[in-house]
Amino acid sequence: MVNMENQITDDIREYEHPFVAVDLLLFTISEGKLKVLLVKRGVEPFKGGWALPGGFVRMNESIDDASKRELKEECGVEGVYLEQLYTFGEPNRDPRTRVISVAYYALANSEKWNLRAETDAEEAKLFEVGEIPHLSFDHQEIFDYGIKRLRSKLSYSNIAFGLLPDEFTLTNLQQVYEVILGKKMDKRNFRKWISNIGLLLPTGKMTKNTAHRPAKLYKFKKNQVVFFG
Amino acid sequence: MVNMENQITDDIREYEHPFVAVDLLLFTISEGKLKVLLVKRGVEPFKGGWALPGGFVRMNESIDDASKRELKEECGVEGVYLEQLYTFGEPNRDPRTRVISVAYYALANSEKWNLRAETDAEEAKLFEVGEIPHLSFDHQEIFDYGIKRLRSKLSYSNIAFGLLPDEFTLTNLQQVYEVILGKKMDKRNFRKWISNIGLLLPTGKMTKNTAHRPAKLYKFKKNQVVFFG
DNA sequence: TGAATAGTGTCTTTCAGACAATATGCC
DNA sequence: GGCATATTGTCTGAAAGACACTATTCA
């Protein structure tokens, strides 16, 4: 085997090496369910199959920028919480050639989601996480990993706020936790806990036009330390 | 901009795309200190500078396999705990060309470390984590990220065992925690906590030839669920 | 006044942290 | 017996979990 370290210094372009892509898990909550955006593939391989949105990393953009670009181009979403998940690099994960994929996950609330008009509705669709179809490539593995990270990180970070509008009620917030963790929580204990965390800021406003008692609206303290994970 | 998705299908080889490398943080404990292995670069760029061991991912090996190969070739270590850390992909992180690096960290105990005879001692050296020299590329950032992950993961996983021999005393184990977290811990509270975790298995054996009271030897329960993170 | 959701407190259990004396093997 | 390290339990405060009733708005 030639020494690639020297080779790359001599003539970079002639050396065969893997492609690099980003794949995106875009989570959102709608109709009280946790959903993920999938796209129907328009080209081979797996033409007509469902897959995660994604694309190749260009030479002059960072992988973070590539994922933001794909998020905008393929999902029509901007300015949302985005975090690198894991890098998948089995040699045959793409039948065309060697493609290493850096997976990201993003969290969008329904407000951000309204920006999605530019996406072709025929090719992109939200699926409830419990009901996703067969996925192309190794995207099922990426999905499984992402769900695990999301659930895990929920309990020791503030990512839940990425799925909510700027102002929300404590019930809204609790529902995010319940939907993601897939279990009911006690209202009093939840409120006690979330208040002690110290991330909430009362806005002084209330919900309006409800057919019942109005609820206080809160927002999320910005510039807050996010726990590591 | 041409459509790369089509381009890759037509003629893969002609499309310029990033290189992919792995970089390794090999942690070990020696002389009661947490140390990391650095190598002195023998080629440009940064020739003569210190850097993390690593190398390019080959076309037919997974990134996990690439990191295992580099761990063996550059560090002389095999069969140790190895975990993917994060992927670094700023466009100019390597002055030669676009290189995206998947960082891994490995934990080796002193037994595994004895296998390191094949490594050229002139070019690889252990540095205490508080005293590392200036690092080439963006390796300082990778190091910072790795230390953070290591410290964080220590408290909710069983990775400490990767730094210990198969059989160890509770004092050995406590020292690993103290060295990594950089703080003294109370012996009684530590033992209470670690016993409740349920990962320890008494071997029935004791340390020998100590100039004091012998200690019980424990081993780590295999096939144990590792917490997610 | 009925429907629907908001909002609130106590008790119990569990876990983390502070703290010191006795036990054992070797010389 | 002296040295060096191993081993062990109690108390206290904080946080998590179980559990049910009152308050408010609108129709």
Residue B127 and residue B114 share a domain: yes
- Å between B79 CA and nearest CA of chain A: 20
Q: Is the peptide bond before B45 cis (omega within 30 degrees of 0)?
A: yes
Domain edge (last residue) among A102, A132, A154: A154
What are the residues whose beta carbons fall under 8 Å from the beta carbon of B103, sequence distance 6 or more? B22, B23, B24, B25, B52, B84, B85, B86, B87, B88, B142, B145, B146
Domain edge (last residue) among B133, B154, B175: B154
Residue A222 banded pLDDT, cuts 50, 70, 90: confident
Q: Which residue has the higher pLDDT, A44 or B145?
A: B145
CB under 7 Å from strand D: A 186-189, 193, 196, 209-214; B 169-171, 187-189, 191-192, 210-216
The separation between the first and the last C-alpha atoms of chain A, rounded to the nearest angstrom, is 39
Residue B126 and residue B182 share a domain: no
Task: Report whether pLDDT(A5) > 80.
Answer: no
Percent of chain B with pLDDT over 70: 86
Protein residue closest to C26, using CA and C1': B211
Torsion angles phi and psi, residue B66, rounded to 5: -60, -40
Q: Which residue has the higher pLDDT, B227 or B25?
A: B25
Q: Stated in angstroms, how far is A184 CA from D24 C1'?
A: 25
What's the rounded Cα separation, in Å, for the pair A12 and A59? 13
Which of A10-24, A91-105, A148-162, B172-186 has the lowest average pLDDT?
Answer: A10-24
B6 located within any domain:
no
- Å between A205 CA and nearest CA of chain B: 37
CB under 7 Å from strand C: A 169-171, 187-189, 191-192, 210-216; B 186-189, 193, 196, 208-214
Element (H, E) at A125: strand A124-128
Residue B49 and residue B92 share a domain: yes
pLDDT at B53: 95
Give the tens place of pLDDT for each residue, B51-61. Answer: 999 999 999 99
Residue A205 and residue A102 share a domain: no
Q: Tell me if B117 sits within 8 A of B144, measured CB to CB.
A: no
Mean pLDDT of A134-153: 96
pLDDT at B6: 54
B10 located within any domain:
no
Residue A62 and residue A146 share a domain: yes
Active-site pick, B123, B128, B131, B178: B123
Which of B20-29, B139-148, B152-161 has the lowest average pLDDT?
Answer: B152-161
At residue B214, the 3 state secondary structure works out as coil
A193 located within any domain:
yes
Asked if B87's CB is within 8 angstroms of A84's CB, the reply is yes
At residue A20, the 3 state secondary structure works out as strand
**Residue of B20, B44, B96 lying closest to A18 (CB–CB):** B20
HSE of A197, CA atoms in CB hemisphere, 13 A: 20
pLDDT at A13: 53
pLDDT at A194: 94
Note if the pTM is more than 0.95: no
Q: Is A97 on the interface with B (CB under 8 A)?
A: yes
What are the residues whose beta carbons fall under 8 Å from the beta carbon of B117, sequence distance 6 or more? B76
**Arithmetic mean of pLDDT over chain B:** 88
Q: Tell me if B74 sits within 8 A of B24, measured CB to CB.
A: yes
The separation between the first and the last C-alpha atoms of chain B, rounded to the nearest angstrom, is 39
Q: Which residue has the higher pLDDT, B189 or A199?
A: B189
Torsion angles phi and psi, residue A124, rounded to 5: -125, 135
Which ranges in B19-123 belong to alpha helices (H)? 63-75, 110-113
A9 located within any domain:
no
Handedness of CA B60, B63, B68, B69 (dihedral sign): positive
Asked if B91's CB is within 8 angstroms of A62's CB, the reply is yes
Task: Report whether pLDDT(B229) > 80.
Answer: no
Asked if B5's CB is within 8 angstroms of A56's CB, the reply is yes
A123 located within any domain:
yes
What's the rounded Cα separation, in Å, for the pair A167 and A7? 56
Residue B183 and residue B129 share a domain: no
Which one-letter amino acid corresponds to residue A203?
A: T
B228 located within any domain:
no
Task: Report whether pLDDT(A1) > 70.
Answer: no
What is the CATH number for A179? Answer: 1.10.10.10
Q: Which residue has the higher pLDDT, A176 or B5?
A: A176
Task: Report whether pLDDT(A132) > 80.
Answer: yes
What's the rounded Cα separation, in Å, for the pair A87 and A170? 35
- Cα distances from B92 to residues A58, A125, A180, B101, in angstroms, run 13, 36, 38, 12
Residue A4 banded pLDDT, cuts 50, 70, 90: low
**Arithmetic mean of pLDDT over chain A:** 88
Which of A128-132, A208-212, B6-10, B70-74 has the lowest average pLDDT?
Answer: B6-10
pLDDT at B115: 43
- Å between B149 CA and nearest CA of chain A: 7
A8 located within any domain:
no
Residue B64 and residue B143 share a domain: yes
What's the rounded Cα separation, in Å, for the pair A9 and A31? 55
Percent of chain A with pLDDT over 70: 86
Q: Tell me if B20 sits within 8 A of A17, measured CB to CB.
A: yes
**Residue of A9, A58, A229 lying closest to B96 (CB–CB):** A9
Q: Is B121 on the interface with A (CB under 8 A)?
A: no
Residue A140 and residue A186 share a domain: no
What's the rounded Cα separation, in Å, for the pair A198 and A203? 14
B149 located within any domain:
yes
pLDDT at A155: 83
What's the rounded Cα separation, in Å, for the pair B109 and B103? 20
Task: Report whether pLDDT(B117) > 50.
Answer: no
HSE of A37, CA atoms in CB hemisphere, 13 A: 29
Residue B187 and residue B112 share a domain: no
Q: Stated in angstroms, how far is A35 CA from C2 C1'?
A: 36
> B60 is in which domain, residue-wise?
17-154
Active-site pick, A123, A141, A167, A178: A123
User: Which residue, among A12, A87, A157, A225, would best test binding to B if mutated, counting the most B CBs under 10 Å from its CB?
Assistant: A87
Which among B196, B193, B195 has a CA at the least distance from the CA of B218? B195
- Å between A1 CA and nearest CA of chain B: 11
Residue A138 and residue A182 share a domain: no
Residue B139 and residue B203 share a domain: no
Report the number of distinct structural domains present in chain B.
2
Give the tens place of pLDDT for each residue, B9-48. Answer: 555 556 789 999 999 999 999 888 999 999 999 888 999 9
Q: Which residues does chain B have within 8 Å of residue A100's beta carbon, measured at their own beta carbons?
A: 20, 57, 63, 100, 102
What is the CATH number for A99? Answer: 3.90.79.10
What's the rounded Cα separation, in Å, for the pair A178 and A155? 11
Domain edge (last residue) among A154, A172, A187: A154
Give the tens place of pLDDT for each residue, A46-99. Answer: 999 999 999 999 999 999 999 999 999 988 899 999 999 999 999 999 999 999
Nucleotide nearest B188, from its CA to each C1' = D8
Q: Stated in angstroms, how far is B192 CA from D7 C1'?
A: 12
Task: Report whether pLDDT(B174) > 60.
Answer: yes
Task: Report whether pLDDT(B4) > 80.
Answer: no
Q: Which residue has the higher pLDDT, A10 or A207?
A: A207
Q: Is B225 on the interface with A (CB under 8 A)?
A: no
A44 classed as catalytic: no
Residue B132 and residue B32 share a domain: yes
